[in-house]
Structure 1
Amino acid sequence: MTDPAAIRWLTPTGEPVSCVEKLKVLTENLVELKQMAQDALEDAILMGCDEAQVRRVLADLMAGLENPYAKH
């Protein structure tokens, strides 16, 4: 995974997010999310699940997230 602190976050218009506090929260969220996903993967493997399937399920979970702020 890319180092979360190295990610250049962009606004919907392509401008860089420059607020230090926002960048800190984004980095912290990714670090926490990575650890949760790692824990879930390890648990599933220890319980005998197929690693590739678990990775697909986690990827599908991320792909299925909904934007509650989307303009309809």
Structure 2
Amino acid sequence: MEPIWKRPDGSIVACTEKIKVLRENLEELRQMAQDAFEDALLMECEEGQIRAVFQEVIAGLHNPYQQS
């Protein structure tokens, strides 16, 4: 199921081009993560640890547009 993208104020992002870019970016991210996941499994890493590290990476992303 595709997410319904929302702005910080809760309104829905409805622009077709923006949604297309978001969809493409998400698919690229999924594929890159899947490839990295499979590589780690082939190198005999533990699945739970791989997932935990990936979650840490996502949680640690910095928002350069955040207003202070």
* Alignment TM-score, normalising by the size of structure 2: 0.96
4+ aligned runs moved over 2 Å, structure 1: none
Q: Which has the higher contact order (CA 8 A, sep 6+)?
A: 1
| Pairs aligned (count) | 68
Where in structure 1 are there 5+ consecutive unaligned residues?
Answer: none
Identity of aligned residues (%): 54
Amino acid at match of 1:58: F
> CA RMSD of the aligned region, Å?
0.7
* Alignment TM-score, normalising by the size of structure 1: 0.91
Where in structure 2 are there 5+ consecutive unaligned residues?
Answer: none
* Displacement of 1:7: 1.1
Counterparts of 1:71 and 1:16, CA distance in 2? 21
